[in-house]
């Protein structure tokens, strides 16, 4: 995946169409609450405008289901980018219509234009393998209108690199012989998630958490073949407990994945490290199952001995200590998924302990996006790890060793 980057292209006086990932969280008033993804795109953006290029940005935001929706407008992102960039950022109220085309035609060297949400168009998310001929034609037509706006295509949206969306794959396909390159963010993600892991310094330790074994089965299998230790946390640990004949109370488990858990334990043997104790409680959740609103009788029990009516919510202190020791001896660490319900005290202790151990270690440390990235940021350790990925699903698929068509199509270095 050694790809040509945006700095390698002469952009003076040329129009660059850059796919970025401005899928940022907002509050009910539309105020951006976490601008990290916009900040991550700034080096590539500056590379274009500082060298006299005319820059058109495109991104998705949320899931508007293929139709315009005020809640998912990128206008607040244009305002935040203007603030961060310190120069005007124009905004087009559509993506490929007259307003977008006229705004693109008005650009002069050093100008920046952000198009409206690409997912306001159903063509953006048509899947190539399932598309009818009519859908394929519609997707190509949509992509061609975007491709015709520019002289250069740049992919700096790692979070969607694993998808065949029109703006990610079909647009560069429609660019013909025009330069198609990566931005600095995508280049950095590839360097760490593909490059470092292909030749890790050992001991190589992976920490995998989250809710479901099924969603991370492929990456666990892959890492068991690469790592010296794979540490398991989060709710997926209770499926392993169930597979071992333990009691899990009301814990979130995948009872239909017990055979899968057994298979992983047989394959991983001593490499697969499971919790030895669990912090559990009788709790009430709010609507949407997003946060705990009431906790009763929190206690620590041996793994696989969760009482009836209780649910496991975090790894216990003995497990946290054991995991911290393993991490402390590592030379390469990959972490994807929290150890428990880290948003709610006191069930954040396991995640805190693991994050602290990673921050204190001398290892090359890669935090694989999603909740792990949020946790490392909230705990103030982001500047003490080697790399925090901007992509959740994309980082997992790259760890699995999957090919990304949206990257493969770009020009080789």
Of 145, 167, 188, which residue is a domain's last? 188
CATH of the domain at 171: 3.40.50.1260
Taking 90 as the threshold, does the pLDDT of residue 250 lie above it? yes
Q: Which residue has the higher pLDDT, 389 or 7?
A: 7
Examine the domain organization and report whether 252 and 359 are in the same domain. yes
Q: Look over the chain and give the mean of its residue pLDDT values, rounded to a whole number.
A: 93
- 220 shares a domain with 127: no
Whether 383 is in a domain gets the answer yes
Structural tokens at position 3: 């790809």
Domain termination residue (choose one: 135, 162, 188):
188
Same domain, 206 and 58: no
Mean pLDDT for 211-218 is 84
119 pLDDT above the threshold of 60? yes
Cβ-in-10-Å burial (0-12, 13-18, 19+) of 207 comes to buried
Query: Are 311 and 235 within one domain?
Result: yes
**Domain tally, the chain:** 2
pLDDT of 180 reads: 98
What's the confidence (pLDDT) of residue 370?
74
For 331, residues 6+ apart whose C-beta sits below 8 A from its C-beta are 200, 201, 202, 203, 204, 362, 363, 364
Structure tokens at 279: 């912090």
Beta-strand pair 229-232/272-273: parallel
- CA distance linking residue 234 with residue 330, whole number of Å: 21
Per-residue model confidence (pLDDT) at position 216: 86
Cβ–Cβ under 8 Å, residues 277 and 316? yes
Residue 101: other Cβ atoms inside 10 A: 15
Contact 112, 83 (CB under 8 A): no
Q: Which residue has the higher pLDDT, 319 or 211?
A: 319
What tokens does 408 get? 């493969």
Using one digit for the tens of pLDDT, what is the confidence trace for 328-347?
Answer: 999 999 999 999 998 888 99
In a domain, 66, yes or no: yes
Establish if 218 belongs to a structural domain. yes
Q: Which DSSP state fits 411?
A: P
Q: Which among 158, 188, 218 is the end of a domain?
A: 188
pLDDT band at 1, cuts 50/70/90? low
Torsion of CA 172, 85, 34, 117, to 10 degrees: -40
- Residue-wise pLDDT for 141-154, tens only, equals 999 999 999 999 99
Same domain as 363, residue 218: yes
Distance, CA of 36 to CA of 26 (rounded, Å): 12
Same domain, yes or no: 173 and 254: no
Same domain, 109 and 172: yes
Domain limits at 173?
Answer: 6-188
User: Sorting pLDDT into bands at 50, 70 and 90, what band is 215?
Assistant: confident
| 214 plus 77 within the same structural domain | no
Question: 412 lies in a domain?
Answer: no
pLDDT at residue 288 in the model? 54
Kindly state whether residue 260 falls inside one of the protein's structural domains. Answer: yes
Enter the pTM of the model. Answer: 0.86
Give tens-digit pLDDT for 155-212.
Answer: 999 999 999 999 999 999 999 999 999 999 999 999 888 877 788 999 999 999 988 8
Same domain, 133 and 215: no
Residue-wise pLDDT for 261-298, tens only, equals 999 999 999 999 999 999 999 988 875 556 788 899 99
158 and 281 in a single domain? The answer is no
176 and 35 co-located in one domain = yes
Q: What is residue 219's predicted lDDT score, i.e. its pLDDT?
A: 87
- Residue 375 covered by a domain: yes
Rounded to an integer, the average pLDDT of 368-394 is 86
Residue 168, phi-psi category: left (phi > 0), alpha (psi -120 to 50), beta (remainder)? alpha
Confidence (pLDDT) at 199: 86
Active site (catalytic) residues: 37, 212, 370, 393
The region of weakest confidence among 11-25, 303-317, 380-394 is 380-394
For residue 67, what are the contacts with CB-CB under 8 A and spacing of at least 6?
A: 120, 122
Clarify whether residues 143 and 235 are in a common domain: no
Query: CB-side exposure of 104: number of CA atoms within 13 Å?
Result: 28
Q: What is the pLDDT of residue 287?
A: 59
Domain annotation covers residue 343: yes
Q: Is residue 409 part of a domain?
A: no
Please identify which residue in the block is written with the tokens 């029109």.
166
* Most confident listed range (92-96, 211-215, 395-399): 92-96
């Amino acid at each position: 995946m050694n790809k040509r980057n945006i700095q390698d292209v002469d952009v003076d006086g040329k129009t660059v169409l850059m796919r970025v990932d401005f899928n940022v969280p907002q509050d009910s008033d539309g105020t951006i609450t976490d601008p990290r993804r916009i900040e991550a795109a700034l080096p590539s953006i500056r590379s274009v405008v500082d060298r006299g290029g005319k820059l058109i940005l495109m991104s998705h935001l949320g899931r508007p289901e293929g139709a315009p929706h005020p809640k998912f407008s990128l206008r607040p992102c244009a305002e935040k980018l203007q603030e961060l960039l310190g120069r005007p950022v124009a905004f087009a109220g559509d993506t490929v219509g007259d307003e977008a085309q006229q705004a693109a035609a008005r650009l002069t060297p050093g100008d920046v234009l952000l198009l409206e949400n690409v997912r306001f168009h159903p063509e953006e998310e048509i899947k190539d393998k399932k598309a009818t001929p009519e859908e394929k034609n519609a997707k190509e037509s949509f992509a061609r209108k975007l491709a015709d706006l520019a002289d250069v295509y740049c992919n700096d949206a790692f979070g969607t690199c694993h998808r065949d969306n029109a703006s990610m794959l079909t647009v560069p396909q429609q660019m013909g012989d025009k330069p198609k390159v990566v931005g600095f963010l995508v280049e950095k993600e590839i360097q760490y998630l593909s490059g470092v892991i292909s030749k890790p310094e050992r001991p190589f330790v992976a920490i995998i958490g989250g809710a479901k074994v099924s969603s991370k089965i492929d990456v666990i299998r892959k890492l068991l073949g690469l790592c010296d230790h794979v540490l398991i946390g989060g709710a997926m640990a209770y499926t392993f407990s169930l597979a071992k004949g333990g009691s899990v109370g009301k814990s979130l488990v995948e009872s239909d994945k017990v055979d899968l858990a057994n298979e992983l334990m047989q394959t991983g043997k001593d490499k697969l490290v499971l919790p030895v104790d669990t912090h559990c409680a009788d709790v009430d959740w709010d609507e949407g199952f997003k946060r705990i609103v009431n906790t009763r009788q929190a206690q620590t029990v041996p793994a696989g001995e969760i009482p009836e009516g209780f649910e496991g919510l975090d790894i216990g202190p003995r497990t946290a200590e054991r995991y911290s020791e393993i991490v402390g001896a590592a030379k390469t660490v990959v972490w994807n998924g929290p150890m428990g319900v880290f948003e709610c005290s006191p069930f954040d202790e396991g995640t805190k302990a693991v994050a602290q151990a990673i921050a204190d270690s001398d290892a090359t440390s890669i935090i694989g996006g999603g909740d792990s990235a949020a946790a490392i940021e909230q705990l103030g350790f982001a500047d003490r790890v080697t790399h925090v990925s901007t992509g959740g699903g994309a980082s997992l698929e790259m760890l699995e060793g999957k090919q990304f068509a949206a990257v493969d199509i770009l020009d080789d270095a």
